[in-house]
């Protein structure tokens, strides 16, 4: 959410930003919110003046009563009553206008970074850099669930009976591999100076609307019926929510946290064969990283965050690349974002395994996450998030890139301590 003062002073920049995101239907909102904001400020100024006047008169009444001038005090009370009647009409209007302005401001997209390429959708995202050499073995690589089934590592049929499509049972060494990757990712981030955290797996609606756009919320979140609670789609939601309504000492920044959680997503719509199996599912586990920092440091932290994911995947012998998200592929709160994609030797192309985002002060503004500097000045912090690793999707890349011709799976050296010293998974 951008600052209403910025919009008021720079409407053309806001309009162009909307156009750059190919959301022209939102252009009328700029004039609408400017008009509402003007009405709100006038109404608030009038109400504040009346409240100040009422307070002043109330003090006069107290002084008159103390002097025993009850008759004069009663006469003054009449003017207080008149002010109260006027305020009774103004205050509901003030609240109504505030709500209307807030609703529109939460819909207008954040100002994207100048470096973001302009494009309509993810088909126009731009490759930044490749890490590791992609390869295709001479033998045929089966579909990922076929690899797992041969190793007695997955049961989709039972999961459908128990929970429906989009769920799975991981079994044996594949289940152990899944947990090993999560544990390795946890320790990998701790070694890089991040504080480990296990957050709440449910959050209130105020936090949901504070960390994501309405469109994302509708597409992703599961609501708990009869309660003001949602299942998290990623631990970033509750991790950023941890700082709601806080005034933070600048000297303690940045806060760098890495968190584990299960994640729950609707994943609406039909998908092709490559997005079945365990690629696009309703429940999975994830290791995440978030940063709360000073505005001038957010660009630096953005580069550090995506590099962490690249380094982790390379330590597991998986080639990856980074992909700059274009303007039309950015969620409304994001200033800049890139995807980390892993190489699939079966598909002979890359696919997404993580996403890194700089949200500027958008989440902080919504959740009131402020910072106080050494001079007592207050400002909104910047927030960033990035996927460390999200199995079982990551397992697809891992299995394909470490598959032997006989169907066994190589275990990279870095992961062996988490697999009881195993070097190979065999059927």
Residues annotated in a binding site for L-serine: 234, 265, 288, 385
The DSSP 8-state label assigned to residue 250 in this structure reads G
Report cis status (omega within 30 of 0) of the bond before 392. Answer: yes
Cβ-contact 140, 340 below 8 angstroms = no
- Of all helices (H) and strands (E), which one includes residue 126? strand 126-131
CA torsion through residues 391, 396, 401, 404, sign? positive
Cβ-contact 261, 238 below 8 angstroms = yes
Show the CA angle centred on residue 387, arms to residues 20 and 245, nearest 5°.
75
**Local structure of 279: helix, strand or coil:** coil
Tell me how far apart the alpha carbons of residues 40 and 44 are, in angstroms, rounded to a whole number.
6
Half-sphere exposure (Cβ direction) of 170: Cα atoms closer than 13 Å: 18
According to DSSP, the β-strands at 255-264 and 195-197 are parallel
Place of tokens 């504080």: 195
Cβ-contact 422, 187 below 8 angstroms = no
Cβ-contact 337, 325 below 8 angstroms = yes
Per the annotation, binding residues for ATP are 265-267, 352-355
**Local structure of 151: helix, strand or coil:** coil
Per the annotation, binding residues are 234, 265-267, 288, 352-355, 385
Cβ-contact 421, 366 below 8 angstroms = no
Q: Assign 3-state DSSP to the chain and report helix, strand, coil percentages, each to 5.
A: 50, 20, 30
Closest CA to 243 of 106, 360, 380, 389: 380
């Amino acid at each position: 959410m951008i600052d209403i003062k910025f919009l008021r002073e720079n409407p053309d920049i806001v309009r162009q930003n909307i156009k750059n995101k190919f959301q022209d239907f939102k252009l009328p909102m700029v004039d609408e919110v400017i008009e509402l904001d003007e009405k709100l400020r006038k109404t608030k100024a009038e109400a504040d003046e009346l409240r100040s006047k009422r307070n002043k008169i109330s003090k006069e009444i107290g002084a008159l009563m103390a002097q025993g001038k009850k008759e004069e005090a009663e006469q003054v009370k009449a003017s207080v009553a008149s002010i109260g009647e006027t305020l009774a009409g103004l205050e509901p209007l003030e609240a109504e206008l505030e709500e209307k302005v807030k609703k529109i401001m939460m819909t207008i997209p954040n100002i994207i970074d100048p470096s973001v390429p302009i494009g309509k959708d993810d088909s126009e995202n731009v490759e930044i850099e490749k890490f590791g050499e992609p390869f295709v073995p001479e033998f045929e690589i089966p579909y990922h669930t076929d690899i797992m089934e041969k190793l007695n590592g997955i049961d989709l049929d039972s999961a459908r009976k128990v929970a429906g499509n989009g769920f799975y049972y991981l079994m044996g060494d594949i289940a152990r591999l899944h947990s090993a990757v999560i544990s390795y990712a946890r320790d990998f981030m701790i070694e890089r100076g991040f504080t480990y955290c296990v957050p709440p797996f449910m959050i209130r609606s105020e936090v949901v609307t504070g960390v994501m756009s309405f469109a994302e919320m509708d597409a992703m979140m599961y609501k708990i019926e009869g309660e003001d609670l949602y299942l998290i789609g990623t631990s970033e939601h509750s991790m950023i929510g941890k700082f709601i309504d806080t005034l933070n000492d600048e000297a303690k920044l940045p806060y760098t946290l890495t968190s584990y959680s299960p994640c729950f997503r609707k994943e609406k719509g039909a998908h092709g064969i490559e997005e079945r199996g365990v690629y696009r599912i309703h429940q999975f586990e994830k290791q995440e990283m978030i940063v709360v920092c000073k505005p001038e440091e957010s660009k630096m932290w953005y580069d550090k965050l995506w590099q962490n994911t690249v380094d982790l995947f390379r330590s597991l012998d998986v080639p990856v690349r980074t992909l700059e998200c274009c303007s039309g592929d950015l969620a409304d709160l994001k200033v800049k974002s890139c995807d980390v994609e892993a190489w699939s030797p079966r598909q002979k192309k890359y696919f997404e395994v993580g996403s890194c985002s700089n949200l500027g002060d958008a989440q902080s503004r919504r959740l009131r996450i402020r910072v106080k500097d050494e001079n007592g000045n207050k400002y909104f912090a910047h927030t960033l998030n990035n996927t460390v690793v999200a199995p079982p999707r990551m397992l697809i890349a891992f299995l394909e890139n470490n598959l032997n011709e006989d169907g066994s799976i190589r275990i990279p050296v870095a992961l062996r301590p988490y697999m009881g010293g195993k070097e190979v998974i065999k059927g």
